[in-house]
Amino acid sequence: MNKLAIAFAIACLATVAHAADPYTFRDYKLGMTLDEFKALPYPELNEEITKKSYGSELDPKTIRLVCSDQENEPYGMKVYGHGLAPTGIRCMWRHSEYTSHLQGLSSGYKNPAGGAWISVGAINSQEVEFDFGPDDAGVQRLYRIHTTGPNSRFDAELEAFTTKWGKPTSVTQEDLQNGMGNHFASGHVKWQNGVSTIELIQRVGDINTMSISYYHDTLFTQAAARAKAQEPPPKL
């Protein structure tokens, strides 16, 4: 029996979770304000992922938080708010151009600016998005954390999240078909606690990509409604 089937069996026995505090990712709590978010450091600075990706001589100044309302960022650093309402803000950790080091000596190779690595369960991602939108008082709050990864790591990701958050609230499986008529199973797993949701989807966009998302239920619903209101009317 594969891990998805086991998770499904466990979820069938689960009771509905009671309302609790919103889920957290590392030190980032869904619903926190943008100012609170910006006060937190890069989460991987002292971790093994940083040493492997950037070398032991990494200058912390090469990594910084960039948000979509910062318009004058150079190529490779700029963050775009695609899919957000005009009032929304997306933030991501980026690294500026830096020189590789090997055993304390400069290699002379210039690494271009881009996304900074962050560990998410069983994968490492350079494209973790932190999306903010205004609450009823106009305060920007974190309503979604999102990234993607190779779906070859889906079982490992499911195991990591189950270890962290316990048995899923729901597990479903969808049959997908590509343009050539081939069928692929796609698992859809959710953890819900009454105020927030964690969602793993085995295949999104293409058959080789999975998605990982954290949502603040109320703030996400409000943000989605604002984004939809900005869509152009259908052409008749």
Establish if 33 belongs to a structural domain: yes
Establish if 99 belongs to a structural domain: yes
Q: Which residues pair with 171 in a beta bridge?
A: 189
Which domain does 189 fall in, by range? 3-229
How many domains, the chain? 1
Question: What mean pLDDT comes out for the span 148-172?
Answer: 95
Among 11-15, 188-192, 232-236, the range of highest mean pLDDT: 188-192
Q: Decide: residue 171, CB within 10 A, 0-12 exposed, 13-18 middle, 19+ buried.
A: buried
Quick: pLDDT tens for 75-115. 778 899 888 888 999 999 998 876 665 555 455 566 678 88
Quick: pLDDT tens for 18-50. 457 999 999 999 999 999 999 999 988 666 655
In the predicted model, is pLDDT for residue 196 greater than 60? yes
173 vs 182: CA distance, rounded Å: 16
Establish if 200 belongs to a structural domain: yes
Establish if 191 belongs to a structural domain: yes
Establish if 234 belongs to a structural domain: no
Establish if 78 belongs to a structural domain: yes
125 by DSSP, 3-state: which? strand
For residues 84 and 97, is the Cβ–Cβ distance under 8 A? no
Establish if 236 belongs to a structural domain: no
The 3-state secondary structure of 218-231 reads: HHHHHHHHHHHHCC
In the predicted model, is pLDDT for residue 198 greater than 90? yes
**What's the chain's length in residues?**
236
Question: What mean pLDDT comes out for the span 136-161?
Answer: 96
Instruction: Place 128 in a pLDDT band, splitting at 50, 70 and 90.
Output: very high
Establish if 235 belongs to a structural domain: no
Question: Rounded to two decimals, what is the model's pTM?
Answer: 0.82
